[in-house]
Amino acid sequence: MKWVIAILPLLALPSAAVLLTPEVWPRWAFMWLFAWTIYAGCKWLTWWVASAHDANWRRHLAYLVLWPGLDADAFLRKSNSCRPHLFAWLFAFAKLTVGIALLWSAAALLARNQDLLRGWVGMVGIVFVLHFGLFDVLGLAWQTAGIAATPVMNWPILATSVTDFWGRRWNTAFRDLTHRFLFRPLTIHCGAKVALLVGFAFSGLVHDLVISLPAGAGWGGPTVFFFVQGGAIFLERSSLGRRIGLGIGVIGWAFTMLVLLGPLWLLFHSPFVRGVIVPFVDFLGGIS
């Protein structure tokens, strides 16, 4: 029964979003709602099975509504003895400012007939506002309060391997979730290689739902993107990959950027950029 209660919101909330969202809603509004229902279900799952029951109700509430991470035990139980420096605060707000500037540029400065460019600039702006900006500010605030809030983004630009990028640098919240509930159990029963493939297949499915479903097209692109990532990890771990240094140093960094950026158009395909992101950018431009 415990696991039924833990998983039920993850199944019910996205289903309700699909079935009950009015057809007159813009596709970007459905995208944000649908993404939130998946995230809320994941948040509930991690909280429900957490072992840190001795935390006070304020910290439980803070984890549920004021922290984007998905490692409930760390947030609820661990204390942070290291307070962030002023530079960390300034850098976080600088990234937030960059994101706002990019969104404003996409909405107000770029020509209306440059849909793809506007959409891509807008997407980069969204990532800077949320993942690099607001999430970083929240993490610093909780660290200042003495709570062990691990940053969601850990300098992904410095990744020297695809393993390093997905394993500990990009969106550590999603990594914590999949590592605990998918990768570790599958590794025990099926081995690390199968677990890795299933993990990337799961990531592809989730991104296909969040990206392709609102766009109404482009199905399979996000899943192929994540299979490319898994294949790249197998390559860099192979004897050939180790021999030519695909997982270390400058060569590893260059290989990682190639694997990430080369097929990025499969993840954020044209129907999504044009049909979801561009209207969202236009909406932001209308209220600015």
Which range among 181-195, 231-245, 254-268, 274-288 shows the weakest confidence by mean pLDDT? 274-288
Model-wide pTM > 0.85? yes
Per residue in 93-115, pLDDT tens?
999 999 999 999 888 878 778 89
**Position 261 pLDDT exceeds 60:** yes
Which range among 37-46, 75-84, 125-134, 237-246 shows the weakest confidence by mean pLDDT? 75-84
Residue 254 near residue 157, CB atoms below 8 Å: no
For the chain, the maximum distance between any two Cα atoms, rounded to a whole number of angstroms, is 56
**Position 276 pLDDT exceeds 70:** yes
User: Element (H or E) spanning 266, and its range?
Assistant: helix 264-267
Q: How far apart are the first and last CA of the chain?
A: 48
Which range among 53-57, 99-103, 115-119, 267-271 shows the weakest confidence by mean pLDDT? 53-57
User: Element (H or E) spanning 204, and its range?
Assistant: helix 192-207
Percent of the chain predicted with pLDDT > 90: 84
- Quickly list DSSP for 80-134: ---PPPHHHHHHHHHHHHHHHHHHHHHHHTS-TT-HHHHHHHHHHHHHIIIIIII
Question: What is the pLDDT, as a whole number, of residue 107?
Answer: 83
Which range among 50-54, 214-218, 282-286 shows the weakest confidence by mean pLDDT? 50-54
Question: What is the pLDDT, as a whole number, of residue 51?
Answer: 84
Per residue in 5-28, pLDDT tens?
999 999 999 999 999 999 999 999
Closest CA to 156 of 131, 125, 184: 131
CA–CA gap between residue 175 and residue 24 (Å, rounded): 35
Question: What is the pLDDT, as a whole number, of residue 249?
Answer: 94
Question: What is the pLDDT, as a whole number, of residue 111?
Answer: 77
Per residue in 223-233, pLDDT tens?
999 999 999 99
CA–CA gap between residue 278 and residue 161 (Å, rounded): 32
Q: What angle do the packed helices 278-287 and 86-108 form, to 10 degrees?
A: 100
CA–CA gap between residue 129 and residue 118 (Å, rounded): 16
CA–CA gap between residue 59 and residue 167 (Å, rounded): 27
Per residue in 143-187, pLDDT tens?
999 898 888 999 999 999 999 999 999 999 999 999 999 999 999
Question: What is the pLDDT, as a whole number, of residue 163?
Answer: 96
Question: What is the pLDDT, as a whole number, of residue 15?
Answer: 97
CA–CA gap between residue 55 and residue 75 (Å, rounded): 10
